[in-house]
Amino acid sequence: MKSFTCFLLMLCSTSLVAQYTISQNSGKLKIIEVNEVTLEGHAGSDIIIEVEGEESHIPERAKGLKLLSPAGLEDNTGIGLSVTKDGTTSTIQEVSNRSDERYIIKVPTGVAIYYECSTHQGETLIAQDIASELEVSANFNDVRIINPTGPLAISTVHGSIEAEFENVNQDNSISLHAVHDHVDVTVPSSAKANFMLSTSWGEMFTDLDLDFGHDDSDMRRVSSNKMVGKFNGGGVDFSIRSTHDDIYLRKK
Amino acid sequence: MSDEEAMMEVQSGNTRMLSVLFERHHRRLYTYLFRTTRDRDLSEDLVQDTFEKIMRKRHTYRREYPFGGWLFRIAKNMLNDHYRNQKLSTVGIEDFDAPQDPRDVERSHIELALMRLKPEFREVLTLTKCQGMRYQEVANIIGISETGVKSRVHRAVKALKDSYVELKMT
Amino acid sequence: MKVDQEMLIKYLLGETTTMENAMITNLLEEDLTLQKEYQELAKIWSELESLPDELPSQKMEHRFTHWLDSMSEVPASRKSSRVMWLRSGRWAAAAAVVLLAGFFVFHQSKSTPVSESRSTVTGIEWVSSPSTTERIQGIYHATMKEHDPAIVQILLKLLREDESDNVRLTAVEALQTFPLTDDIKIGLIQALEKEEKPVVQIALISALVGLSDHDAKPQLEALIGNEDVEKTVKDEAQLGLLRL
């Protein structure tokens, strides 16, 4: 009976989620060229990587062999990722280039995150409940940020940025910068911030009382180009930019 | 940003930052050199030479050196070198015959009185009074003791007063 | 004690003791000759203090600028210089020491007039912070508070050397809030030549176009002709050329 339970547990852990753990609760985590990622903040002391969706696509023929990438990366995690550690920095890179798995990476509060993805296979990056610094340098990814409480520096060229704040931490600067797609930000009506909004070709819409413009419509267009506006008397520096598309700034 | 931070920047390779330091200090450095030498061209050359020397010696700068003092000390050395090259000793500045400056006619009484003093007196008066430096800073720059500076300032004040009174009588 | 000219000079220079002071003040009230003598000294002294700085000729400044231009090394490949920049982690400590030193000097010299050129002290420890967002926040603060020309040089340095696109991006935006100088213009153009990240390339193009910098035309044309440059950047350059 005992061995049967053991067997069941093993079955559960291997078939439900393929998982890899990096023991790290401070320093930096770099995620380089991993196409589909969901980042989740958690209170644990390890970085935990789980694979969602399709089970491994490794062909039968490749059993017992190691996957190599043209970049010389080696799958040392068993889940299609290469993980290397250098001092206090861990780097995660995707080995296969035809992967369609989404990696869910649970990150402890003390680990700063850097995500970089330049290829057009980059899918939506989701970041949920992240309390540490998050920097994103993306080319094609959309970026969705839910309930961030750490500082943010996000840029993407072709994707959009949408961010929803439960509260705006006064210790952190926030910079959200898209080029060809929109930026949509929701903040609580009590948030304190100095908003710096700018666009070269798009328009800006807001229902926040930023002390400029006299339009009565619900979401009013404030002006084109660049403006600085205090919300609730001002607070943390909060920069939002979309070069070619629109900016939406809402309260909830 | 403080001068010292700017100089550390120059040292770490951001040589453009030297323009900030030039902007802040070239006039007072020029004033010191001109009041001491009474030679415009020479003073302008020395200001330029001093900044060129700073660029060459940037690696010897230490962040605990107040930048102003360091700058003036280098300038003073350049000035000494200049006189030495002219086969004049440092003391020999006294005998140095400065060219006449057409702008002298527009100068105020006090300025003319100052101009008539020995170079070493003009030097300490300019540094202490016009540049607001402490005796210790001046001592570092001109390379004599603090007591030496103090006594020189005293003699300079006395000489300035005599020169002023004398000018007034003519 | 006899009060002679030597004593008066000491008094004038603030080198007399409290006891001597009291005595001299009394004597000055009684002895009119001495009083006259002192007034003359004090007058000369204050006139000397208010003497304006000498004005060097314009050519001196030109000569310096010209020389510095010729000196400014073309930055080595960005990679290597970035490494140096990052290595200067001691920088923060250095800056802190400088700030402390500045504080110390300031306090020491309080009794004597502080020359006007002693600059405002703005901490720049943030420049070498390992945290991207702290560097970004540093830029916001430094540029919002005051327009210290020294900050322009810091921004240009960040634009050349910072490893983070987001920091370089913020530097480009911050530079646009300063009055346009040749330094800024040249800095932006040089950055455009070196920059490889599309998001920063586009920000640079839009900054140069916004500043109506016609000197940037050759760089924009070069981008359009460069096969390694992403299409979206080429489009932006094309658009920029049309607007210039």
pLDDT per residue as tens digits for the range C140-150: 888 766 667 78
**Residue B45 clears pLDDT 90, i.e. is over it:** yes
**Residue C102 clears pLDDT 70, i.e. is over it:** no
Distance from CA of A32 to the nearest CA of C (A): 14
Average pLDDT (A174-181) is: 94
Residues A178 and A245: beta-carbon distance below 8 Å:
yes
What pLDDT is stored for residue A153 in this prediction?
Answer: 96
For chain C, percent of residues with pLDDT exceeding 90: 15
Which of C53, C65, C148 is the best mutation test for B, with the most CBs of B within 10 A?
C53
pLDDT per residue as tens digits for the range A181-237: 999 999 999 999 999 999 888 888 899 988 664 444 444 444 346 788 889 988 899
Q: Which residues of C touch A29 (CB under 8 A)?
A: none
Chains B and C touch, contact meaning at least 3 pairs of CB atoms under 8 angstroms apart: yes
Distance from CA of B87 to the nearest CA of C (A): 27
For chain B, percent of residues with pLDDT exceeding 90: 35
Average pLDDT (B15-19) is: 87
Do the Cβ atoms of B5 and C101 come within 8 Å?
no
Query: Does residue C217 belong to any structural domain of this protein?
Result: yes
pLDDT band at residue B101 under the 50/70/90 scheme: low
Query: Does residue C131 belong to any structural domain of this protein?
Result: no
Pairing of strands A28-32, A112-117: parallel
Question: Domain spans of chain A?
Answer: 19-251
Highest mean pLDDT among B86-100, C71-85, C143-157: C143-157
Do the Cβ atoms of C44 and B64 come within 8 Å?
no
Domain holding C191, by residue range, is 147-244
Answer with the residue of higher pLDDT: C222 or C99: C222
The CA–CA distances, whole Å, from C128 to A171, B82, C167 equal 18, 41, 12
Query: Does residue C112 belong to any structural domain of this protein?
Result: no
**Residue A58 clears pLDDT 70, i.e. is over it:** no
What pLDDT is stored for residue A152 in this prediction?
Answer: 96
Domain boundaries B1-99, CATH class: mainly alpha
Do the Cβ atoms of A152 and C133 come within 8 Å?
yes
The dotted CATH code for A19-251 is 2.160.20
- Measured between CB atoms, does C32 come within 8 Å of chain B? no
Buried b (16+ CB within 10 A) or exposed e, B25-54: bbbbbbbbbbbbbbbbebbbbbbbbbbbbb
Answer with the residue of higher pLDDT: C126 or C95: C126
Question: Domain spans of chain B?
Answer: 1-99, 104-170
- Residue in this structure with the two tokens 């004049």, named with its chain if needed: B88
pLDDT per residue as tens digits for the range C138-184: 888 887 666 677 888 889 989 998 999 999 999 998 888 888 888 88
Query: Does residue C152 belong to any structural domain of this protein?
Result: yes
What pLDDT is stored for residue B17 in this prediction?
Answer: 87
- The string of DSSP letters for C38-63 reads HHHHHHHHHHHHTPPPP---HHHHHH
Distance from CA of B38 to the nearest CA of C (A): 11
Do the Cβ atoms of C133 and A153 come within 8 Å?
yes
Q: Which CATH architecture has domain B104-170?
A: Orthogonal Bundle (1.10)
Query: Smallest Cα–Cα separation from A75: which of A48, A103, A94, A53?
Result: A94
Distance from CA of A117 to the nearest CA of C (A): 11
Do the Cβ atoms of B158 and C9 come within 8 Å?
yes
Q: What is the DSSP letter of C149?
A: H
pLDDT per residue as tens digits for the range C36-61: 888 888 888 888 888 888 888 888 88
Do the Cβ atoms of B64 and C94 come within 8 Å?
no
Both structure tokens of C195: 């920059």
pLDDT per residue as tens digits for the range B70-86: 999 999 988 988 887 77
Query: Does residue C10 belong to any structural domain of this protein?
Result: yes
pLDDT band at residue C2 under the 50/70/90 scheme: low
How many domains are there within chain C?
Answer: 2
Answer with the residue of higher pLDDT: C125 or A15: C125
